[in-house]
């Protein structure tokens, strides 16, 4: 039955049938009459062997099996066009369509590898995810594309798209591939060039280029830049220095006093504000405090939208401090910096976040690692009116970083439990009552899962 042979076999059978019909007509027999007599004799003999009811049931069962087989083959043939052998099975697709699409609406705000780590686990609980990503990167491949082509830095957005993709390992490997040689190509990642090419094809519509990339990779959720302007970060250090540029801030070696955005048209993306207001759960972090999380809050409208949103709000603190940004920082130091830069009163942190999720399991830290675990100071967190939630967020495989599966599972458990409780902002009519609500809630929320 090789290609091209089937039709000739079919033509051969048709030819033989035509010859038989001609022979019957030549002998004076009508083909329909002969066929009817033949079928009648078969049915009469069958009735003699088996009762009518039994033979009828056998025929009906046989016909039903043929119909079921045909329907199954047609269904598999149609679905096969959308589900090749190397992709997900049909049960996986049904699970994703029915369960994940009905999951809670989640807005995740941050950038860098921390945000992509969370998305890798979160996509298995809901596909209604909006990742709002900072666009202040000015180093490496993103920085070169930003300077040479005027495109919004695609690096963090690329990481989030690949983290949400179905074929995570293969896509991540492809999009993270960096050219090691070639004039103009050396140092660039394929994913950054892919997004830049889409940016040109869509005539400078960066949102459309990101949407196209997400469709190509079948991402479970959407990725949005916090602003459509390539922001420039400016850091004021405690020693009086002023450092401009994200890559320069981390290498300056001083303690950051305040972070600013360089003057410009830094308006929040309307779709990002809409996603925040419609979200049921808002997650800040994890990620670099001053170069991934706070830059989003400095974009006009983002922090205000978070405060106004009726969603449950959680900040995920880093497992380790970060040299050049948060050396010797405690959990409260992280939270305080977020409140200060978002314009939230330091004694009413619940207006911005309901709780902060912190790791309480000692990570396996290499001897030469240039950082230390973030310490938990509950007394200061109470004064900031933010509930601490202590959980084991690392594994032996994840080392000094969050484990994606464990982190996302704990976040979703907290969300569903928090939905059953009255929000702190409703319990508290003032900063003082907010502190009281924190103290009362800690007895429940600080327990081990």
Q: Are residues 78 and 104 in the same domain?
A: no
In whole angstroms, what is the distance from residue 41 CA to residue 45 CA?
6
Does 64 fall in a domain? yes
Q: Are residues 124 and 70 in the same domain?
A: no
Q: Are residues 310 and 384 in the same domain?
A: yes
Q: Considering only residues 440 and 3, tell me which one the structure prediction assigns the higher pLDDT.
A: 3
Q: Are residues 69 and 163 in the same domain?
A: no
In the predicted model, is pLDDT for residue 421 greater than 90?
A: no
Give 62-115 pLDDT, tens digit per residue: 888 988 888 888 777 766 655 544 455 566 666 666 678 889 999 999 998 899
| pLDDT band per the 50, 70, 90 thresholds, residue 352 | very high
Query: Is the entire prediction scored with pTM above 0.85?
Result: no
Does 44 fall in a domain? yes
Give 265-298 pLDDT, tens digit per residue: 789 999 999 999 999 999 999 999 999 999 999 9
Does 7 fall in a domain? no
CB-side neighbour CA atoms (13 Å) of 374: 32
Q: Which distant-in-sequence residues (6+ apart) come within 8 Å of 223 by Cβ?
A: 130, 131, 133, 157, 160, 161, 164, 210, 214
Q: Are residues 207 and 142 in the same domain?
A: yes
* Domain membership of residue 65 as a residue range: 35-82
In whole angstroms, what is the distance from residue 242 CA to residue 29 CA?
105
Give 31-74 pLDDT, tens digit per residue: 778 777 877 777 777 667 777 677 778 878 888 898 888 888 87
Of the listed ranges 152-166, 176-190, 195-209, 337-351, the least confidently predicted one is 176-190
In the predicted model, is pLDDT for residue 158 greater than 70?
A: yes
Q: Are residues 106 and 55 in the same domain?
A: no
Q: Find the helix or strand (DSSP H, E) in which 257 lies.
A: strand 256-261
Does 87 fall in a domain? no
Average pLDDT along the chain: 85
Average pLDDT over every residue of 17-25: 84
Does 103 fall in a domain? yes
Helix axes 190-201, 140-149, angle to 10 degrees: 30
In the predicted model, is pLDDT for residue 147 greater than 90?
A: no
Residue whose tokens read 């959990």: 331
Average pLDDT over every residue of 392-404: 90
In the predicted model, is pLDDT for residue 23 greater than 50?
A: yes
In whole angstroms, what is the distance from residue 374 CA to residue 333 CA?
10
Q: Could you tell me if 255 and 240 are in contact, meaning their C-beta atoms sit under 8 angstroms apart? A: no
* % of the chain surpassing 70 pLDDT: 86
Q: What is the CATH number of the domain that holds 154?
A: 3.40.50.10680
Give the residue from 102, 152, 110 showing the smallest Cα distance to 128: 102
Judged on CB neighbours under 10 Å (0-12, 13-18, 19+), 342 is buried
Give 193-246 pLDDT, tens digit per residue: 999 999 999 988 999 999 999 988 888 899 999 999 888 999 999 999 999 999
Q: Are residues 310 and 439 in the same domain?
A: yes
Give the residue from 414, 140, 102 showing the smallest Cα distance to 282: 414
Q: Are residues 280 and 361 in the same domain?
A: yes
Q: With the CA atoms of 390, 394, 399 and 402 taken in that order, what torsion angle do they form, in degrees rounded to the nearest 10? A: -90
Q: Considering only residues 60 and 183, tell me which one the structure prediction assigns the higher pLDDT.
A: 60
Look at the chain and report how many structural domains it folds into. Answer: 2
Average pLDDT over every residue of 340-365: 94
Does 170 fall in a domain? yes
In whole angstroms, what is the distance from residue 344 CA to residue 353 CA?
10
């Amino acid at each position: 039955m090789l290609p091209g042979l089937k039709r000739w076999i079919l033509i051969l059978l048709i030819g033989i049938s035509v010859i038989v019909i001609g022979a019957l007509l030549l002998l004076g027999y009508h083909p329909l009459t002969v066929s009817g007599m033949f079928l009648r004799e078969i049915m009469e003999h069958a009735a003699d062997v088996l009762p009518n009811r039994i033979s009828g049931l056998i025929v009906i069962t046989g016909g039903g099996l043929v119909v079921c087989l045909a329907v199954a083959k047609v269904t598999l043939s149609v679905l096969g066009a959308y589900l090749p052998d190397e992709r997900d099975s049909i049960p996986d697709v049904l699970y994703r369509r029915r369960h994940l699409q009905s999951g809670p609406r989640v807005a995740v705000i941050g950038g860098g590898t921390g945000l992509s780590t969370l998305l890798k686990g979160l996509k298995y609980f809901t596909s209604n995810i909006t990742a709002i990503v900072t666009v202040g990167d000015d180093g490496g491949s993103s920085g070169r594309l930003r300077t040479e082509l005027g495109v919004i830095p695609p690096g963090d957005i690329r990481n989030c798209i690949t983290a949400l993709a179905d074929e995570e390992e293969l896509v991540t490997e492809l999009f993270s591939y960096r050219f090691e040689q070639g004039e103009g190509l050396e140092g660039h990642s394929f994913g950054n060039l892919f997004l830049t090419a889409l940016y040109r094809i869509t005539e400078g519509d960066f949102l459309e280029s990101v949407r196209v990339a997400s469709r190509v990779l079948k991402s479970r959720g959407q990725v949005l830049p916090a602003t459509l302007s390539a922001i420039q970060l400016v850091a004021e250090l405690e020693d009086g220095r002023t450092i401009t540029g994200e890559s320069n801030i981390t290498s300056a070696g001083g303690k950051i006093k305040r972070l600013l955005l360089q003057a410009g048209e830094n308006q929040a993306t309307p779709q990002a504000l809409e996603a925040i207001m419609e979200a049921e759960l808002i997650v800040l972090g994890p990620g670099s405090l001053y170069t991934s999380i706070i830059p989003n809050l400095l974009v006009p409208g983002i922090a205000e939208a978070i405060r106004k949103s009726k969603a449950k709000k959680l900040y995920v603190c880093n497992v380790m401090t970060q040299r050049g940004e948060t050396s010797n920082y405690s959990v409260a130091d992280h939270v305080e910096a977020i409140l200060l830069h978002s314009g939230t009163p330091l004694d009413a942190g619940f207006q911005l976040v309901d709780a902060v999720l912190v790791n309480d399991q000692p990570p396996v830290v290499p001897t030469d690692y240039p950082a230390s675990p973030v310490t938990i100071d509950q007394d200061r967190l109470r004064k900031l009116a933010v509930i601490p939630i202590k959980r084991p967020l690392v594994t032996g495989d994840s080392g000094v970083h969050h484990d994606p599966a464990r982190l996302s599972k704990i976040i979703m458990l907290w969300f569903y439990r928090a939905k059953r409780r009255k929000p702190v902002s409703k319990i508290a009519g003032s900063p003082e009552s907010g502190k009281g609500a924190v103290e009362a809630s800690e007895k429940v929320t600080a327990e081990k899962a």
